[in-house]
Amino acid sequence: MDKKLLIDLQKTPKHVAIIMDGNGRWAKGKGMNRIFGHRNALTAVRESVKAASQVNVEAITLYAFSTENWNRPKLEVDALMSLLINSLKKELPEFMEQGVKVNSIGCIETLPKKAQKVLNDVIFETKDNKDIVLTFALSYGSREEIVNAIKNISKKVVNKELDLEKIDENTINNHLYTFNLPDVDLMIRTSGEQRISNFLLWQLAYAELYFTDVLWPDFRQEHFYDAIIDYQNRERRFGKTSEQITE
């Protein structure tokens, strides 16, 4: 049976975030190096975006490269940057056909110049697409994001551009990288690991967390639908009681 038929299209999450984990273990299991795993993960990206589009998800954010990933071996980092450049170029026609608007969050200025240019070019080319927003978290760390937000808010208070007493959740939201995205409803992490790894800490405050043993290169549309079905079978209370939700 097509799992998509089990999904209530009126109750799908608006924003799904994914920690794409398991590339290295997948490659090791096949007797190959980690870079082989990264290269074979592109199909999972493609399948996830397609699946999200088909069930009315408005935004999907992928944890592509963390601030901590810069500490990996130079060969692997260089390969990841090259893969980013080549995959963005290759996927642009597909993005245009599927109405995918590409976005990015993180310290993009720390990426290689060529990667920055290609990323910005793709963002510009897809800016008018409206079916789904695909955000790549690149050189991203949530603690750093929050620190930067606090610094920028503090500067505005010091310069009397912002009243201290008027700072609220919306103020912080508007100073995060994700200011133009809805809060995350569902976070998926592959490979069996069950942690958040400095990813969207503020934005995940009320998200449902879904962990699967599937390694990222093996992740397909049916696995994405499994996560959506699980999400729809949960009761989201946001601090209220079950009775209040029912009412």
* Close Cβ partners of 207 (under 8 Å, ≥ 6 residues apart): 17, 183, 184, 185, 186, 187
Q: Spell out the domain ranges in the chain.
A: 3-141+186-232
Tens digits of pLDDT across the chain (247 residues): 689 889 999 999 999 999 999 999 999 999 999 999 999 999 999 999 999 999 999 999 999 999 999 999 999 999 999 999 999 999 999 999 999 999 999 999 999 999 999 999 999 999 999 999 999 999 999 999 999 999 999 999 999 999 999 999 999 999 999 999 999 999 999 999 999 999 999 999 999 999 999 999 999 999 999 999 999 999 765 555 555 556 6
pTM across the whole model? 0.94
Amino acid at 18: I
Helix, strand, coil content of the chain in percent (nearest 5) = 50, 15, 35
Residue 61, annotated as binding a ligand:
no
- What number does CATH give the domain 3-141+186-232? 3.40.1180.10
Does 180 show up as a binding residue in the annotation? no
User: How would you class 143 by CB atoms within 10 Å of its CB: exposed for 0-12, middle for 13-18, buried for 19 or more?
Assistant: exposed
Is residue 126 helix, strand or coil? coil
What count of residues does the chain have? 247
Here the tokens at position 63 are 């944890």
Contact 20, 45 (CB under 8 A): yes
The answer to whether 196 is annotated as binding is: yes
Enumerate the active-site residues: 21, 69
Pair 93, 125: CB distance under 8 Å: no
